[in-house]
Amino acid sequence: MRNIFGKKEVAFCAICNKELGRHRYRPAKEWNLSGLLCGNCHIDKTKEFLEIENSKRDAPDRCAICRKEISQDEDRIKAKWQWEMESGSLVCKDCFVKKDTEYNKKLNFCASCNGRLGRFFYHPKPAWKIEGNLCRRCWDERNSG
């Protein structure tokens, strides 16, 4: 930083009061610190904050669908983003398989007649209150009636 006379302003670390040189770090808002930090203090505060965050996460993970406690590492699976669930949600293996098959069925098969959708498929009108896509024949039947 430069003052109005063009000279560099001297800045000090908000924690250890060490004079800051070229490398200055802005603290995160969650740390409730004002001013700049030196590299060592910034690393220490980051580690401290991460330890606090990790201690909050020590509670057992639960499946986002069935709420069953997930104990084994192999059962810990992240939900796919296409499923429109909360970011970082974990699901157990059984729920993952069930949700994945439901999603694939919704994408690849007609919601009305369960026929396989080809290259062309149709989105139902909101008034029909149908989830999934329709084949041409089912869409035409719904639209004409």
- Reported as a single tens digit per residue, the pLDDT across 41-57 is 999 988 888 877 666 55
pLDDT average, residue stretch 95-102:
91
Angle at 134 between CA 128 and CA 138, to 5 degrees: 80
**Domains of the chain by residue range:** 11-56, 60-96, 109-145
CA distances from 42 to 9, 19, 28, 47, 50 (A): 21, 14, 9, 9, 12
On the question of pLDDT at 28 being above 60, the answer is yes
Report the C-alpha gap between 46 and 135 in whole angstroms: 54
Quickly state the pLDDT bin for 97 (edges 50, 70, 90): very high
